[in-house]
Amino acid sequence: MTAQTLQGLNVLVTRPWHQQQALCDAIEILGGRALSFPLIEIVPLDQVTDIENVKCKLNALDKCQVLIFISSNAAQFGAYWLSRCEVEIPADVTVLAAGSSTARTVSALLQCSVVHPEAGMTSEALLNLPQLKDINEKRVAIFRGVGGRELLASTLTERGAHVDYLEVYQRQSIEYGPDELARLVDSEGIDVLTVTSAQALERLNELASDNKAQLSLIPLIVPSARIAELAKQKGFAHVRNANGADEHSLLTALEDLVGVADTRDEG
């Protein structure tokens, strides 16, 4: 029998629709209740210039020595474009991924060996990999969505690499009515908020609006130290870093949160 470690816990799950099910199911299995409130939608490219740009860069992929996939979305959409353009991963290329979950997705979709950081899923963790230390004059392609952090590319450029982005999807904020977030949190008795990206945190903060004082007191689980610091700067008072955006990391953080609350109750 599965231990009901999240019994009675109401969790707001803000992942994109297509990435929610596994986490919601796992929360329910552990006795909690998952409330769906996606903040960001992952959608295909729709601008002709963006599409032509991807096609052009994929046709030059054989000149690269290193490919980096920064997320499972980057892996899935990257695989789609590789297939559509009939481009194969070069046999002698080094393939890296941000985190074990992304690495599994890349390996399964592209049938190649993938290296990932043992701890962490951030740009900082990637940059600590030995494969990215001696990178001078090497060509690196980073698969990602449109926009995002520049730390990975800028640091690799400083190390002498020639870096290019393959932006294979885009993100869109989901629109909600005024106070819709606050009403849901209040009516469903939400105990924990979760976000899995900096953009989702920004959207959560926007939707908090005039109810920020109330919502900022609810524990917030985030995937990295960087996003935890951003959340604190935005006024969220109880921020917990899950050290990952995968189901295991988020569930562990939720269980730890329940454990801390139980300990306080006993005291």
Q: What is the pLDDT of residue 244?
A: 87
**What pLDDT, in 10s, does the model give residues 208-237?**
988 999 999 999 999 999 999 999 999 999
Could you tell me what percent of the chain has a pLDDT over 90? 87
The vertex-210 CA angle with 205 and 214, nearest 5°, equals 75
Return the domain boundaries, the chain: 10-39+174-266, 43-172
User: Does 262 score more than 80 pLDDT?
Assistant: no
**What pLDDT, in 10s, does the model give residues 6-43?**
999 999 999 999 899 999 999 999 999 999 999 999 99
CA dihedral 245, 67, 203, 222 (to 10 degrees): 20
Region 10-39+174-266: CATH code: 3.40.50.10090
3-state helix, strand, coil in the chain (%, to 5): 45, 20, 35
Q: What is the pLDDT of residue 119?
A: 79
d(CA 246, CA 70): 13
**What pLDDT, in 10s, does the model give residues 95-133?**
999 988 899 999 999 999 999 998 778 899 999 999 999
The domain at 43-172 falls in which architecture?
3-Layer(aba) Sandwich (3.40)
pTM of the complete model: 0.88
Q: What is the pLDDT of residue 32?
A: 97
